[in-house]
Structure 1
C-alpha cells in the first residue's frame, strides 16, 4: 500500500474543496467573546489559505503558519465543540502533508489521534467522518508497518470497511478505498494465514481494477496488486486458473509501464516466479 501517496492525494482534495469562510472582523475579535466559534472559524480560514499556498510553493513555512493558526483555533474550542472537529481535521491534513515519508513517528501518532477525535465529535454520516476514516486507514497501516502492532492493522481494516459502506457504487474515490482495504487484508493474511482475508483481498483488488479502465493512471498498480494476490492464492490452493490469470495481469503491467518504472521493476520478479 502506497499509504502516503493516498494520504497526500486525499489531503490535497480536502484543501482544494474547502471553502474559506469570510474573515471580516472576527479574526481580530477578543478571545473572551461569548461565542468562540466565529473567531475560531476565521482562524481556520487563514490556516486554509496557508495550506493552499503550501500546495503551490512547497514552502514549509506556509505549513508551519497553518499549524500555528489551527492551534489558536483549537485553543478557543472546548473538547466537545463540534467546530473543533474541523480544526482537528485541518491539523491532521497538515501533519499528513508535512511528513510525506511517514518517518516522523510522533507526527504520525498525532495525526491518528487528531482524526480519531474527529470521529468522536461528529455524527455518523457527517462529511468529516468519511474524510477522517480515509486518512486513518492509511495512517494506521503505516503505524503498523513501523511498530508491528496488529491492533493497528485490524483497526485499519475495520475503518476501511466503514469507508466502503460510506462510498457506495459509483463514488468517485471508491477504487482507492478498495485498494487500501485489499492491501490491508493481504497483509493480515500474511500475518495469520486467514484464507478469508486472502479471498477478500483478491475480490476487492478485482473490483478496484474494474473501476480503472485502460486510460486510468493507476491501472498498472491495480493489475500488479491483483496479480500478486492471485499468485499468493495459487501458492495456497494450486488452482491453475489463479496462476494463469496472474501471469496475464503481469504481462499487462509490463505492456503498460515503461522500463525503469517502479511498478515494472516490482512486477518482474513476481512474473518470473509465476512462470
Structure 2
C-alpha cells in the first residue's frame, strides 16, 4: 500500500516538531516538568507520523531521542534508556557515511551508551562505543573531535574506577591532571573536572589521604560554578561535594562545612522530586545533617515547622527504602 503525503500532512508534521521545540524553550525557562513531557509527546507524534522514506525521518528520530535523553537524566523512571538508544541507532543507520549529520548522531549514540555503561556496567555498551569510534574520522580542532575525546576519556575513567585498582587510579589521575584543562566556556570542561573528581574520590576511599579531600572540594566547586542551574550533571557534583563536606566536618568539627552540606542537599532535592530514584537518599541525607546541626546548636538553629517536616519525610523514606548502604562515618549515607 502506497501512502501519499500531501503538503498539508507535512505542514502538520513540521508544526508538531515546532511545538516540541517551543515546549523545550519553556522548559529551559521555567524548568516545569510538564513542558518537558509535552515536548516528548509532540516529538513522539512527529516521528510516528513521519513517512519512513522521508528525508526528515532521521531528524524526527533524533529529536525524540534527544528529548527522551533529557527526560531520562532528569527523571530516570520516566524513560526507557534502551528505547532512546534504539532511536539513536536507527537514526545513525539512516545517516550513512559521508552524511553531514552522521558524526553528531554517532556521538549522541555513544553518549547514551556511555550513560548505560556508567549506570549498569554493561560491557557490551563499552565495546560498542569503541567500535563506533573507529568507524568515524573526526577532523582535528573541531567540536566533534573534542566531544569524541571526552567520551573516550570518560569511558576509560569508568573502567578504571570500576576496577578499583589503586595503580590504575594513580596512573589515570596523573594523566587527567597532566592534560591541559580547557578554559572556561568550553563545553567539555565540567565533565573533565567530574572525571578527575570521581577518580580522586575513589582513591580517597582507598587511602584516606586528606590532601585528596581538599582537591575534591576545589574541583567540585569549580565544576558547579561552570554548570548552569538545573543542569543534570550538577547532581553528581552535589553528591560528591556533599560527601567531601561531611568528611571535613567530621575531621575538623567546623559547622560551616555542615551548613554547606545542608545547602547542597536543598538544591539536590529540587532535582530529585518524589519518585526520583535518588530522592530518598537526599531526604535522609538532608534530615540527618539537619538533626546533627540541631544537636550542635539547639532547636533555635531551625524553624520547628521545617524540622518537623523534614523528620516526617525522613520517616517516610525509611519506611519505603528497601536497601541502604551506609558509609562507616556517621551521617554520610549512600545508595
Q: TM-score band, normalised by the shorter chain?
A: 0.5 to 0.7
Is 1:138 the counterpart of 2:198? The answer is yes
**Matched length:** 239
Structure 2 match to 1:252:
313
> Does the aligned pair in 2 maintain the 1:202–1:226 contact within 8 Å?
yes
**Residues 210-229 of structure 1 correspond to what in structure 2 (within 5 A)?**
210-229=270-289
Structure 1 match to 2:35:
none
> Does the aligned pair in 2 maintain the 1:130–1:163 contact within 8 Å?
yes
Change (3 A) 1:136 1:262: farther
> Does the aligned pair in 2 maintain the 1:205–1:225 contact within 8 Å?
yes
CA shift for structure 1 position 68: 9.5
CA shift for structure 1 position 162: 0.9
> Does the aligned pair in 1 maintain the 2:287–2:314 contact within 8 Å?
no
Structure 1 match to 2:177:
116
Change (3 A) 1:248 1:217: same
Structure 1 match to 2:53:
none
> Does the aligned pair in 2 maintain the 1:50–1:65 contact within 8 Å?
no
**Residues 225-236 of structure 1 correspond to what in structure 2 (within 5 A)?**
225-236=285-296
Q: TM-score, normalised by structure 1?
A: 0.62
SS at match of 1:262: coil
Is 1:149 the counterpart of 2:209? The answer is yes
Query: Could you say which structure has the larger radius of gyration?
Result: 2
CA shift for structure 1 position 153: 0.9
Structure 2 match to 1:105:
166
CA shift for structure 1 position 241: 4.9
Distance in 2, matches of 1:198 and 1:216, equals: 24
Structure 2 match to 1:92:
153
Q: RCO (CA 8 Å, sep 6+): is it higher in 1 or 2? A: 1
Change (3 A) 1:112 1:125: farther
Moved over 4 A (4+): 22-25, 48-51, 53-59, 64-71, 80-88, 99-102, 240-248, 257-260
CA shift for structure 1 position 130: 0.9
Change (3 A) 1:66 1:189: same
Change (3 A) 1:86 1:159: same
Change (3 A) 1:104 1:85: farther
Distance in 2, matches of 1:59 and 1:171, equals: 25
Structure 2 match to 1:164:
224
Distance in 1, matches of 2:96 and 2:169, equals: 31
Distance in 2, matches of 1:69 and 1:81, equals: 18
Provide the alpha-carbon RMSD of the alignment.
4.9
Distance in 1, matches of 2:170 and 2:143, equals: 22
Unpaired stretches in structure 1, ≥5 consecutive residues? 1-8, 26-41
Unpaired stretches in structure 2, ≥5 consecutive residues? 1-72, 74-80
Distance in 1, matches of 2:157 and 2:320, equals: 31
Deviations along 1:178-229, one digit per CA (max 9) or x if unpaired, are 3332221121111222222121111221222233332333221111111121
Change (3 A) 1:139 1:232: farther
Change (3 A) 1:126 1:92: same
Question: Which stretch has the larger CA shift, 136-145 or 221-230?
Answer: 136-145
> Does the aligned pair in 1 maintain the 2:173–2:199 contact within 8 Å?
yes
